[in-house]
Amino acid sequence: MKRYAIVLAAGQGKRMKSKLYKVLHPVCGKPMVGHVLQTVQQVNCERSVVVVGHGAEKVRAYLQDAAEYVLQEQQLGTGHAVKQAKELLGAEEGSTIVICGDTPLVTSETLENLLKLHESSHAAATVLTAHMDNPKGYGRVIRGEDGSVLRIVEQKDCSPEEDAVTEINTGTYCFDNKKLFAALDSVTNQNAQQEYYLTDCIGILKQAGETVLAYQTDDYAESIGVNDRLALSEAEGFMRDRINRLHMLNGVTIIDPASTYIGADVTIGSDTVLYPGTVLKGNTVIGEDCVIGPGSDIEDSVIADGASVKHSVLCSAEVGSRTTVGPYAYLRPGAKLGEDVKVGDFVEVKNATIDNGSKVSHLSYVGDAKVGKNVNIGCGAITVNYDGYNKSVTEIEDDAFIGSNVNLIAPVKVGKGAFVVAGSTITHSVSDNDLAIARQRQENKPGYAEKMRARAIAKKNNKS
| Residue list, annotated binding site | 8-11, 22, 72, 77-78, 102, 139, 154, 169, 227, 332, 350, 365, 376, 385-386, 404, 422, 439
Q: What are phi and psi of 111, to 5 degrees?
A: -65, -40
The torsion of the CA quartet 250, 256, 262, 267, rounded to 10 degrees, works out to -30
- C-alpha distances out from residue 460 to 1, 320, 380, 447, 450, Å: 96, 59, 36, 21, 16
For β-strands 330-331 and 318-319, DSSP reports them as unpaired
**Of residues 25, 54, 362, 428, which has the active-site annotation?**
362
Question: What gap in Å lies between CA 380 and CA 124, rounded to an integer?
Answer: 72
54 flagged as catalytic? no
Question: What gap in Å lies between CA 424 and CA 378, rounded to an integer?
Answer: 12
- C-alpha distances out from residue 291 to 50, 277, 285, 325, 353, Å: 41, 13, 13, 10, 22
- What residues are designated binding site for UDP-N-acetyl-alpha-D-glucosamine? 8-11, 22, 72, 77-78, 139, 154, 169, 227, 332, 350, 365, 376
Checking 335-342 for CB contacts under 8 A at 24+ apart, the result is 338/373, 339/304
- C-alpha distances out from residue 315 to 82, 297, 435, Å: 40, 8, 36
- Active-site annotation, residues: 362
